[in-house]
Amino acid sequence: MTAARSPHRHLLGIASLGREEIEALLEAADGFVELNRRSDKKLALLRGLTQINLFFESSTRTRTSFELAGKRLGADVVNMSVGVSAIKKGETLIDTAMTLNAMHPDILVVRHHDSGAVALLARHVRCAVINAGDGTHEHPTQALLDALTIRRRRGRIAGLLVAICGDIAHSRVARSNILLLTRLGARVRLVAPPTLLPAGMDRQYGVETFHDMRAGLEGADIVMMLRLQSERMQGSFVPSLREYFHFFGLTWEKLAAARPDALIMHPGPMNRGVEIDGVVADDIDRSAILDQVEMGVAVRMACLDFLTRDLRAAAA
């Protein structure tokens, strides 16, 4: 584990991280993977610190893994359930931020349905803020855990061909992954129907775009499937789920275009039979989907560790 300090107070997106910082986080996370496999998983690194998980959008794996990450490092972790909080009574985001700030948390982990809301909240609190997903903007810890998964399964990221497939338009996971993977030297392809692939992403991000799965998957080392995010869609982006599966759902037949050892990934939650055939998702040799979940806890521990190093050094 490196002793490097993060120059950032917050982790709001991959966009503000350099290659060396990403690599230092992945190194640290590697150490936490080993810790998490032991029966005694508890460290005292964050003892005395308070972590609040503030989720305005539902979440299973992200919220649970941030909670486990904080607890395994010894922090006191509080989950704010927005359903029963003042937000429902009309409180603004900034009032919520200032209220929480008055309770002296040391880390706030925030998920919000609006792009930019987490950065806005970060300007009104004194503690470190981690973006656990804001609208369609960024989901930095997801991209970090995906990178850790790829690195451990393939030994490297540079030079790999990664096809990110499906609902790119509504996906903060896609955006954070494009930024991270290109920064670490991977070649990225985006594969989606025109309605789900915003024009100009190829030039903006230096990636290739495809509207056909077999062409897009040709020679890919990694096939990253995305959930069709119906809750973010206003109007109809796909003719029908059956047709979407027919053209864009990952099946063995379409996967045959990729490299024979291509790794299958999905951030979850999965829509079986929509973006991915359940049989493909469950193949333990080819699918890294449960590895991604395991790496999620370790990566979040590394992020909590990095963002509190200055605080802990000042207290020592």
The two three-digit tokens of residue 297, written as one number: 């806890």
Size of the site for ligand NCD (CB under 6 A): 11
Residue 274, classed as helix, strand or coil, is: coil
> Smaller CB distance to ligand NCD: residue 41 or 61?
61
Contact call for residue 227 and ligand NCD (CB under 6 A): yes
Smallest distance from ligand NCD to CB 133, Å: 5
Residue of the chain from 61, 214, 232, 259 that contacts ligand NCD (CB under 6 A): 61
> Smaller CB distance to ligand NCD: residue 151 or 172?
172
> Smaller CB distance to ligand NCD: residue 139 or 257?
139
Residue of the chain from 62, 149, 176, 287 that contacts ligand NCD (CB under 6 A): 62
Smallest distance from ligand NCD to CB 173, Å: 5
> Smaller CB distance to ligand NCD: residue 177 or 209?
177
Q: Are strands 107-112 and 208-210 parallel, antiparallel or unpaired?
A: unpaired
Residue 239, classed as helix, strand or coil, is: coil
Smallest distance from ligand NCD to CB 138, Å: 10
Spatial separation of the C-alpha atoms in residues 190 and 203, rounded to whole Å: 12
C-alpha 179 chain-centroid distance: 12
Smallest distance from ligand NCD to CB 256, Å: 25
288 and 153 Cβ atoms separated by less than 8 Å: yes
Residue of the chain from 105, 140, 249, 267 that contacts ligand NCD (CB under 6 A): 267
The two three-digit tokens of residue 204, written as one number: 């903006």
Contact call for residue 229 and ligand NCD (CB under 6 A): yes
Angle at 257 between CA 250 and CA 182, to 5 degrees: 80
Name the residue type at position 178. I
Smallest distance from ligand NCD to CB 264, Å: 16
74 and 151 Cβ atoms separated by less than 8 Å: no
> Smaller CB distance to ligand NCD: residue 160 or 274?
274
Residue of the chain from 31, 74, 198, 268 that contacts ligand NCD (CB under 6 A): 268
Residue number of the CB atom closest to ligand NCD: 227
Binding positions for ligand NCD, 192-221, rule CB under 6 A: none
The closest alpha carbon to 238, from 272, 207, 269, 197, belongs to 197
Smallest distance from ligand NCD to CB 11, Å: 15
> Smaller CB distance to ligand NCD: residue 6 or 142?
142
Contact call for residue 96 and ligand NCD (CB under 6 A): no
> Smaller CB distance to ligand NCD: residue 105 or 267?
267
- Please tell me the number of Cα atoms within 13 Å of 6 on its side-chain side: 23
**Tally of CB atoms within 10 A around 169:** 20
The closest alpha carbon to 107, from 70, 74, 138, belongs to 70
Taking CA atoms, 296 is separated from 168, 199, 211, 282, in Å, by 21, 31, 30, 19
Taking CA atoms, 293 is separated from 33, 66, 73, 90, 306, in Å, by 11, 11, 18, 34, 20
Residue of the chain from 100, 110, 127, 173 that contacts ligand NCD (CB under 6 A): 173
Residues forming contacts to ligand NCD in the complex (CB under 6 A) are 61-62, 133, 139, 142, 172-173, 227, 229, 267-268
